[in-house]
Amino acid sequence: MPRQKKGKKIEEDHVREPEIDEQEDVDEDEGDQPPTSIDPYEVLNVERTATEGDVKKAYRRLALLHHPDKVDPEKRDDAHKKFQEIVFAYGVLSDSDRRKTYDATGSLEDTSGEMFGWKEYFDEMYKKAVTKEMIEEDKKQYKESGEERDDILRFYTESKGDLDIVFENVVHSNVLEDETRFRDIINEAIKSGDVKPYKKYTGESAATKSARRKAAKKEEQEAEELATELGIGKKVMDGDENTLGELIRKRNAARMNNFLDDLEKKYASTGGRKKSKKASDNPPTEEEFLATQKKIGKGRKR
């Protein structure tokens, strides 16, 4: 009898194992599946009557804002998911047949099969999303269309006059180049009654203004130094399609390497070799690791 019970337990375990493996396979493949549950119009924030040009412009703006290579490493998973949705939405709405199918059925299932080649399409769009030409063209359209002014005043109002938040959220904004122009736009809007004269803006101290410009200069200098180090400065200026994305990726990689170097210095012993070995044998706890990462990240923020 005991032997039979033991045998039964083994058989039950054998039955359960494939179910666990199957679930693991599903989880692993999940990231490669197109996000068919989205509303492409909602993702791109365009009307159903949007023209091909409207769709393209909306895609470019969102691709620039949410490209995974433009965010910090810890935010990359969320950015990757958002970027997938943006690319898939554009893939549907930029193709007349796929768009007609979606408009007629309300379903994206028929647009995600092998004929779409989703994986290859996403990979291609990922590579092309950040280019010099694309940024310059979008910047020009953004300013001329009046969208920039709308965004400046919107973020000014939402932040109750915090220019730091305005610059963080307005696409293509540059503190060193745009602050005077942004202030002119805001001041004119205050004068005409379009926005309120928030105290945080009207009473901003000279020290705050100076700190913002100093941080912007430092960031610009770091970018130039990295471009020189990578030997791609001239290519970026000349509009090479691949080097701008490369610069962004390398910069994120450099930040991570610096973080690991700082972490190693913190936990490596300053004593003899024996102590150093002991430090490596006792790696930091997860709490210590996260605390150090937070401290280093805080030091690098503007």
Q: Where are the domains of the chain?
A: 40-129, 133-204, 217-302
Q: What is the pTM of this model?
A: 0.44
pLDDT digits (tens, 9 = 90+) for 47-79: 999 888 888 888 888 887 777 776 677 777 888
Task: Tell me the pLDDT band of 268, cut-offs 50, 70 and 90.
Answer: low
Burial class, 66, CB count within 10 angstroms (exposed 0-12 / middle 13-18 / buried 19+): buried
Evaluate if residue 181 carries a pLDDT over 60. yes
Distance of CA 221 to the CA centre of its chain: 22
Q: How far apart are CA 52 and CA 80, in angstroms?
A: 25
Region at 150 (left for phi over 0; alpha for psi -120 to 50; beta for the rest): alpha
For domain 40-129, give the CATH superfamily.
DnaJ domain (1.10.287.110)
pLDDT the model gives residue 165 = 93
Q: Please enumerate, as own/partner, the contacts of 43-50 that have beta carbons within 8 Å and a separation of 24 or more.
A: 43/85, 43/86, 43/88, 43/89, 44/86, 44/89, 44/90, 44/93, 46/93, 48/103, 50/93
pLDDT the model gives residue 107 = 80
